[in-house]
Structure 1
């Protein structure tokens, strides 16, 4: 939560700083684009490394390095040496390090709690992250910027170092791993993780559904400002209301995600949540009223959190413990590849069919994700996976 608060400060402040340095929209957008690129380049590699190393140590070392990098950047901004290439280098470097941190964090959690408690732990963790990054951090950015353009970055550096100290203090049980085979390489380990994911019918379907949903979300988010300010004519205040509604819905979803899973099973929780998201997108794209937008965004945010909690928990419970990092990396790489593709599609359909068309396109993609989940909607089964990269045969796969 501490580093997520700092991340939110930095990601909000970077575009604002970029706008001060250039008025070229393409150059400004390139700063954000560099936040996606390392996941496409290094996401699978980060997952393989996360399964090889001491995950707790990797996390606090990464946060320490990120803290030093951001502190140096804050110093450069404070001394008047900020530049667009420096912004791009920072965004790229931090996300490259994040590919290891996030996959290690996903793989580490089963070492901290029992597998039966993973759902509750994920729900609390993601709700806290949403609270810190989605609601608490945003109001601080304008206040910090009044004290100087460097202050959000200096604060972010401090949160990284505090987070590193907290992670280093964790006491965990070492994960059970078989020794790596002689001659094993990162490439072969990435391949083994992908094969393990491909052999699990449930995880394979969830991964496909995740990709479809992220294409839809990319289309919606990339054009949401135009949807709100032009199609709805709701102005900047309408856009703020939409994003606030999404964050509020996400918090609510964090509180009910585990309860829904207990009643329906995790796969069915994903399926029902995705069906509700489809309805919310149809509401957003077809009803030309701010109230419909706000209601749709609340429901979309709530079910997105239900999706995230149960998707991650499924990976942790069904995947071999020695491969959780690689399976998580495959999911995240699919997510990131879907977002820019969706943004491109959203812009194209908005120009061809109208500014509400991306929301309707997203609804179609979410409905396709529901269809992908229907064949694996059976009751959850307990999975104890071997450590050799394979998967045991269980009913329901």
Structure 2
């Protein structure tokens, strides 16, 4: 097999200026965000020494994420998506400033950490539908899988470099330095967002309303393939998202030095898969990617909780990341291939719930289970539950397994529409 057949497909990068801008903007902001994602739970651990307190971050973030994720989906269909992205990115930068100021206090306070976590969840809920729904507008239909792979590559670079460096920065320079990097990242990101082309609402767009949200929900409910992607992702993240207990796992394995590597290991596996993702552009049965990827994630998380050698644990977490990447490529491609543009924002709001609410609840589950049964048992039992739930959902939603981009009616309709829609520079 020639090397070009497995290397990432760069056609979306060559096709569109806005995709290149969003790609670079995402790389910058992801790096700073992952610095904060490691520093924040670690700071809560140091202030409380409680896995339940760390896991409570998920509970604090849950309601804002649900409410603003749904509203953000309706908003993305009604206004210029570029403005939504720009304003929310600036607001996220201000929240990073609050974390920095609190960390510089002689005695940092605990409650602002939870307030900021809730604020980040709300703003992310508003922003993600606009970001996700913009992709199908700026990238040609046949390049959507390649674009998803490139975005995953970008995310993984930040997910590897951010947590790995965050562990060192927090250990040697303190939480404030990690938050300062986050502030700088958002400042650069805002400047890049100002250069994006306008992305006005569709001509028949409605103002955000409960009726509009209900219309999007009815469409999602009527599409078993979409329901399958949402359900499998939520189940996998709820049962097998152990990140919140990594600080305690590092303590049990007597490997505090490996905390940053634990946060980064999943991204390493995902990055390796994205570097050999050229073959995914030729896949047409994307539902199989969703199912096999999610099951692989659960099996690897099970092994990570079972073994006691830190290097084996890191290897298992890397394999989990590869499985999650595979499932994510399938989900993203199905969403972008089948959802009409006038509903894309509202459906992206539902997507935010499927791949964000799951991890938030997963943090609560992992923290509570670790406090009750121990850290490692909380991890491996969640992995087994993930595998079982994926198997059950695949059995009751056969349309997901049989999805074929060449024959699916929604994919064919969307493909035909793109032939008449104006291209984006």
Q: TM-score, normalised by structure 1?
A: 0.82
1:384 equivalent to 2:413? Answer yes
Look up the match of 2:423: none
- Preserved CA contact (<8 Å) 2:170 2:177: yes
SS where residue 121 of structure 2 aligns? helix
- Correspondence for 1:366 among 367, 390, 406: 390
After superposition, the Cα gap between the structure-2 partners of 1:145 and 1:359, relative to the gap in structure 1 and judged at 3 Å, is closer
* Alpha-carbon displacement from aligned partner over 1:320-374 (angstroms, at most 9, x marks no partner): 1122222122122133443354456555597399554333223222333443554
What is the rounded CA distance, in whole Å, between the counterparts of 1:25 and 1:228 in structure 2?
13
What is the rounded CA distance, in whole Å, between the counterparts of 2:363 and 2:162 in structure 1?
27
Look up the match of 1:7: 33
What is the rounded CA distance, in whole Å, between the counterparts of 1:28 and 1:313 in structure 2?
34
TM-superposed deviation, 1:134: 2.8
- Preserved CA contact (<8 Å) 1:48 1:190: yes
TM-superposed deviation, 1:188: 1.0
* Alpha-carbon displacement from aligned partner over 1:30-70 (angstroms, at most 9, x marks no partner): 44543444213322112111221211111111112222332
* Alpha-carbon displacement from aligned partner over 1:93-129 (angstroms, at most 9, x marks no partner): 1221111111110011123211221221121112111
TM-superposed deviation, 1:251: 0.5
SS where residue 150 of structure 1 aligns? helix
Look up the match of 1:195: 218
Look up the match of 2:341: 321
- Preserved CA contact (<8 Å) 2:167 2:259: no
Look up the match of 1:332: 352
- Correspondence for 1:302 among 310, 313, 322: 322
What is the rounded CA distance, in whole Å, between the counterparts of 2:102 and 2:303 in structure 1?
46
- Correspondence for 1:351 among 340, 348, 373: 373
Select the structure with the greater relative contact order (CA < 8 A; seq sep ≥ 6). 2
1:130 equivalent to 2:127? Answer no
Look up the match of 1:71: 97
After superposition, the Cα gap between the structure-2 partners of 1:261 and 1:366, relative to the gap in structure 1 and judged at 3 Å, is farther
After superposition, the Cα gap between the structure-2 partners of 1:163 and 1:258, relative to the gap in structure 1 and judged at 3 Å, is same
* Structure 2: unaligned runs, 5 residues or longer: 1-26, 416-425
- Preserved CA contact (<8 Å) 2:77 2:202: no
- Preserved CA contact (<8 Å) 1:260 1:269: no
- Preserved CA contact (<8 Å) 1:267 1:373: no
- Correspondence for 1:311 among 325, 331, 342: 331
After superposition, the Cα gap between the structure-2 partners of 1:101 and 1:373, relative to the gap in structure 1 and judged at 3 Å, is same
CA RMSD of aligned residues (A): 3.4
1:1-397 aligned within 5 A = 1-19=27-45, 21-23=47-49, 26-31=52-57, 33-78=59-104, 80=106, 82-140=108-166, 142-143=168-169, 146-147=172-173, 149-171=175-197, 174=200, 176-180=202-206, 185-218=208-241, 220-221=242-243, 235-236=255-256, 242-257=262-277, 259-260=279-280, 262-281=282-301, 283-284=303-304, 293-343=313-363, 347-348=368-369, 351=373, 354=377, 356-372=380-396, 374-378=398-402, 379-380=404-405, 381=408, 382-384=411-413
Q: TM-score, normalised by structure 2?
A: 0.77
SS where residue 178 of structure 1 aligns? coil
**How many pairs were matched up?**
380
- Which stretch shifts more, 208-217 or 157-166? 208-217
